[in-house]
Homo-oligomer: A and B are copies of this chain.
Amino acid sequence: MAKTLGVIGGGQLARMMIVPAIELGFEIKVLAETVGSPAKLASTVGDYTDLNTVREFAKTVEVITFDHEHVPLSILETLVAEGFNVQPNPQALLFAQNKLAMRKRLAELGVPIPDWAEVSSASEITSFIQNNGGVAILKTAVGGYDGKGVRLIRSAEDAADWLSSGQQLLIEEKVEFVRELAQLSARTPSGQWKAWPVVETIQRDGVCAEVHAPAANANLELASKIAESIAAGLNVTGVLAVELFETGDGRLLVNELAMRPHNSGHFSIEGSVTSQFEQHLRAVLDLPLGSTEGASAYSVMLNLLGPDTPNTFSERFEAAWVLENNSHIHLYGKEYRAGRKMGHITALSSKSLDDAREQAQATYNALLA
């Protein structure tokens, strides 16, 4: 009998999980928010905040996993108590959903993180800012994504609306980083763990714009060791993305976590022997993990964000493909919206990151022109 996976959430991550499911002969079912979602080929539509809906969906699959981290933990805890197989489990997912819980746990594990504090008053915020050179990063404990729920502040006044909203808040030092990295890895319920080489991520307007794999001149071993501590310490299963700040003196500090395939790992579809999507399916099914070696020496990924002028890119294949380079275009089947992640491009090179980047950029320009 074919193994059957259930994915909650019908976004591009679920869409990209369908590919290895087809290749490996797994059955895959997606519980999507809407008709016509990126993962519509394998989807039924239902409300992931409704226990009965999620339970009925869970009954049709062997293992439940996720396209996003927004499923209420109470629902997942109920399912686990009822004997359903949920990967990652809700105790681990808590740390991906709640940044305060994550910071507390990482501090316990001794993982390097920015200075931080839980804050619930203007005076606590003022005091933290004063001790940190007049500036800090304020975050809502839950609900942040792609720059949302994160704010640079210079005074308690900058935090007034969030304070009065009664949300759980944490404050962090503004790390003077030289660049941002992301360490992708995967772990099985049996405890097997494998990492890809750490990548460099380049953000624009708080959104990932570019990924260079592997990151040039990075401390691969340190990044991998941090991810291993987190994966084991938090009992993560499936793909774990650890976003890192690299400082001028070579420290790596953990910024954010995600427990699912991640934008920083899209390069692996063509660039790695095992893609993060295949690895995630293998991991949550507790099957042996695949090689994370490069299928190509260098990969560069560019996100295709909806430009200001409506463009779904699909009418521009001709211009992109006459280039005949080693770029691979991915579109997620989404309707156009400015700034929306509509797809991505991954270019490969055996020569250099620069060569890969030039190819990706040429394809990007052709799709936009």
Residues on A lying within 8 angstroms of B by beta carbon are 1-3, 15-16, 18-19, 22-27, 41-42, 269-270, 273, 282, 287-291, 293, 295-296, 312-314, 317-318, 321-322, 324-326, 328-333, 343, 348
**Interchain nearest-CB distance for A237 vs B (Å):** 16
Are A290 and B324 in touch, CB under 8 angstroms? Answer: yes
Residues in B with CB closer than 8 Å to A25 are 312-314, 330-333, 343
Kindly provide the distance from the CB of A212 to the nearest chain B CB, expressed in whole angstroms.
20
Instruction: Kindly state the separation between the CA atoms of A324 and B318 in the bound complex, as whole angstroms.
Output: 38
Distance from A239 Cβ to chain B, minimum over Cβ atoms (Å)? 16
Q: Which of B282, B326, B333 contacts A321 (CB under 8 A)? A: B282
Copies in the complex: 2
Q: Could you tell me if B18 and A41 are in contact, using CB atoms closer than 8 angstroms?
A: yes
B291 and A326 contact, CB distance less than 8 A: yes
- Chain B: which residue is nearest A291 at the CB level? B324
Residues of B within 8 A of A328 (CB): 23
Query: Please, could you name 13 A-B residue pairs with CB atoms under 8 Å apart, sorted by A?
Result: A1-B314, A3-B314, A18-B22, A19-B19, A19-B22, A23-B328, A24-B331, A26-B314, A287-B321, A288-B322, A291-B325, A291-B326, A293-B326
Bound-state CA distance A10–B103 (Å) is 50
Known contacts A2-B333, A3-B314, A25-B314; decide if A321 and B288 are in contact (CB<8 Å).
yes
Instruction: Select which of B27, B41, B296 is within 8 A of A42 by beta carbon.
Output: B41
Q: Which residues of B contact A343 (CB under 8 A)?
A: 25
The distance from the CB of A132 to the nearest CB of chain B, in whole angstroms, is 45
Q: Which 3 A-B pairs rank lowest in CB-CB distance, beginning with the nearest?
A: A25-B331, A288-B321, A288-B322
User: How distant is A279 from chain B, measured CB to nearest CB, in Å?
Assistant: 11
With A3-B314, A314-B2 already in contact, the answer to whether A330 and B291 are too (CB < 8 A) is no
Distance of A25 Cα from B324 Cα, bound (Å): 19
* Chain B, Cβ-Cβ closest to A319: B288
Asked if A24 and B330 sit within 8 Å, CB to CB, the answer is yes
Residues of B within 8 A of A324 (CB): 288, 290-291
Instruction: Evaluate contact between A288 and B329: CB separation under 8 angstroms.
Output: no
- Cα A82 to Cα B270 in complex, Å, equals 41
B318 A287 Cβ-Cβ under 8 A? yes
A369 to chain B, nearest CB (A): 15
Q: Which residue of chain B lies nearest to A15 when distances are taken between CB atoms in the complex? A: B22
Complex Cα distance A330/B18, Å? 13
A270 / chain B contacts, CB cutoff of 8 Å: 295
Q: How many Å lie between the Cα of A249 and that of B158 in the bound state?
A: 83
State in angstroms the CA–CA spacing of A273 and B326 once bound together. 7
Contact partners of A333 in chain B: CB under 8 A: 2, 25, 27
For the complex, give the distance between the alpha carbons of A368 and B325 in Å. Answer: 39
Closest to A317 in B: B287
Inside 8 A of A318's CB, which chain B residues have their CB? Answer: 287-288
Q: Bound complex: CA of A108 vs CA of B289, how far in Å?
A: 54
